[in-house]
Amino acid sequence: MNKHLDDYNRMRDFSATPEPAVAEPDSVLSDRTIVEKKYGAEKPKSIKKAPAKARKEESPQLMGARKARLPEQLKPELATLVESAPSGEWSYEIKFDGYRVMARIDHGEVKLFTRNGHDWTHKLPGQAEALAALGLESAWLDGEMVVANEQGVPDFQALQNAFDSGRSASIVYYLFDLPYLNGVDLREVPVEERRAALATILKSNENPLLRFSDTFSESPEALLDSACKMQMEGLIGKRLGSPYLSRRTRDWIKLKCKRRQEFAVVGFTDPKGARSAFGALLLGLHDRDSGELRYAGKVGTGFNEATLKRLYKQLKPLQTRRPSVVNPPTGFEARGVHWLKPVLLAEVAFAEMTKDGSVRQAVFHGLREDKPAADITEERPTTVKTSATKRKTTPAAPSQVSLGQGKVRITHPDRVIDASSGTTKMQLAEYYASVAEWILPQLKDRPVALVRAPDGIAGELFFQKNAENLAIPGIITLDKDLTGQPIMIINNAKALIGAVQMSTVELHTWNATSVDLDKPDRFVLDLDPDPALPWKSMIEATRLTLTVLDELGLKAFLKTSGGKGIHLVVPLTRKHGWDEVKDFSHAIVSHMAKLLPDRFSAVSGPKNRVGRIFIDYLRNGLGATTVCAYAVRTREGLPVSVPIFREEVAELKGANQWNVHTVHERLAEVGDEPWADLKKTRQTITAEMRRRLGMKK
């Protein structure tokens, strides 16, 4: 039989009950010897734990593997949409139409998490039991929960119906990666070796609820053509030699048969004819630049009677009088529309997007419950560099960071900045390059101070307010009489990475811009707690401070400090001078300390905040600074200061929740949405506000 037909039949029959042994993918056959030595050629269904000493002697280290404790949490690696398959060394798998789920195994205890960290173990008891039966001591596994339709093709609606009806026994868990196994962190191991290890583990699995996601040896063009003819969603490509990164990367790519993505559900229309419940769903997407939610057309096909009834029950409680989109349809198109709060997320396939941003020939595939609807934008394909990123055994130095236009040379790229995480100078530079689109708007035109760590964060730190003796390319220097010394401004990626090259870790900014340095355009309240206080005290303090600001009529935007506290940023129109703004922020702090003296202190110093939280208003004086949003802190683990929604405060686990290695997943999900309205906010300090705080006019 033609080999193309064989592979296509394997695709078509992917959901069939597996044979007792899972076929090992062609791309990892060369690694069979290594994998069998490390994990055992034949595994019984219940893998027995060998003595630690024996395992150490018999298990050669795979390149990049290291002993480590089982992580409490692990975010999945996400794929980037591309228009066509790049050249180079890649492996290709089916793109499953299901729910992404991470499995954590710890001495028989199995937990299943969605890509956003929600525990779904109770929804998938059979799959958890099957994973426990693998007999692994500890592991993190990555895969997709899938249900096939009558044609043997993944069906998202069928999956959703299985969850809704409690029929999880029909859900198959397709496993495709193994970031951690039995006390060994495999994230730095090349993807083909991680998958070979996973295939070996699943060899003896006879439970039909667990399957290995196979790779195909045909060309990606031929595979995609076959997948599309079979009404599959597409392919996932993985660059050989690449590590496992908990964020969206270009080492994992997705090729789709049709344009398909998530949309916010912003309304619905009345049913017509024989249709029941509703006619069509109105869709919305957030604008990439402004963050505004914009109307993106309707979807009226892809529903069956059961789906219509189930959806209608979810839609009715969300009805609202006003549209949530800034450009609602008008005239005949708006007739019979019921507007909704935009909290539901619909997966929709469509032929094309019109010039005005509306979908054509849209087909509904299901509601997503594993992703937030807060910041859904149009997914646009990108181009992936064709050069392979095979791991080098010895890193080259010096190295360079690419910035799209030009490069910055990084000397001593392997110098470890933080011993606790092993993060190097080069990795820090790559972090700042990757978040340039978010941090540069926060730095723009603001005087900046640098915290430099030439010997790493454990060594001596230098707080530098001017560029004297620092050869930073692209940096702007303003020689202003206002401060009596030159002022640095970082307005471009070249200067940003140049600062890292000069050993910068932290970036702190003024509360004014070069447009008018005499008048602040914001003030900051820094909640600085006694280190002995529990985190719940910080949550309560943040809520109380927000309540006071709300009563004054001032809108605040929040961010984690990256350390112990929370920063509340209050934008202002440029009207008042430094002294007026500082005095006003001092009055707020004094007011709160007077109302709740057992919780708040208006006086700085460790002695004055014992058992309390000092609300630092001193950052609002001329020349004072606050760590910039998205900047790294010189603390263990290199945490990052991250903007947050005020509704998220109660969910936070600490002010250092995100670091240079984990913040990308956060940005991929919400982008700059928490602060999207900051620059648009127009407010000022009024006489009435002063009166309420007991200030003299």
Catalytic residues: 95
Degrees, nearest 5: CA angle 272-276-281: 75
Q: 203, 42 in Cβ contact below 8 A? A: yes
Q: How far apart are CA 445 and CA 121, in angstroms?
A: 49
Q: 85, 237 in Cβ contact below 8 A? A: yes
Query: From residue 418, how far is each of 428, 439, 505 by CA, in Å?
Result: 10, 21, 11
Residue 116: phi and psi, rounded to 5, are -100, 10
Other Cβ atoms less than 10 A from the Cβ of 610: the count is 11
* Sign of the dihedral defined by the CA atoms of residues 594, 596, 601, 602, in that order: negative
Beta bridge partners of 293: 286
Q: How far apart are CA 118 and CA 101, in angstroms?
A: 10
Query: From residue 369, how far is each of 25, 214, 267, 282, 444 by CA, in Å?
Result: 32, 27, 18, 18, 37
DSSP string, 190-250: -HHHHHHHHHHHTTT---TTEEE--EE-S-HHHHHHHHHHTT--EEEEEETT----SSEEE
Q: How far apart are CA 501 and CA 585, in angstroms?
A: 36
Beta bridge partners of 119: 113
Q: How far apart are CA 342 and CA 87, in angstroms?
A: 40
DSSP string, 424-480: EHHHHHHHHHHTHHHHHHHHTT-BEEEEE-TT-TTS--EEE-S-TT---TT-EEEE-
Amino acid symbol at 497: I
Q: How far apart are CA 429 and CA 444, in angstroms?
A: 19
Q: Taking Cα atoms as reference points, which of 298, 268, 433, 448 lies closest to residue 360?
A: 298
Assign 306 to helix, strand or coil.
helix
Q: 620, 600 in Cβ contact below 8 A? A: no
Report the run of H or E that residue 63 belongs to, with start and end.
Answer: none
Residues 558, 561, 564, 567, Cα dihedral to 10°: -40
Q: Taking Cα atoms as reference points, which of 114, 349, 92 lies closest to residue 233?
A: 349
List Cβ neighbours of 168 (8 Å cut-off, separation of 6 or more): 123, 124, 125, 126, 127, 162
DSSP string, 249-275: EEEEEEEESSEEEEEEEEEEE---TT-
Q: How far apart are CA 580 and CA 621, in angstroms?
A: 10
Q: 574, 521 in Cβ contact below 8 A? A: yes
Other Cβ atoms less than 10 A from the Cβ of 109: the count is 11
Q: 63, 391 in Cβ contact below 8 A? A: yes
Other Cβ atoms less than 10 A from the Cβ of 88: the count is 16
Burial 176-205 (b: 16+ CB within 10 A, else e): bbbbbbbebbbbbbbbbbbbbbbbbbbbbb
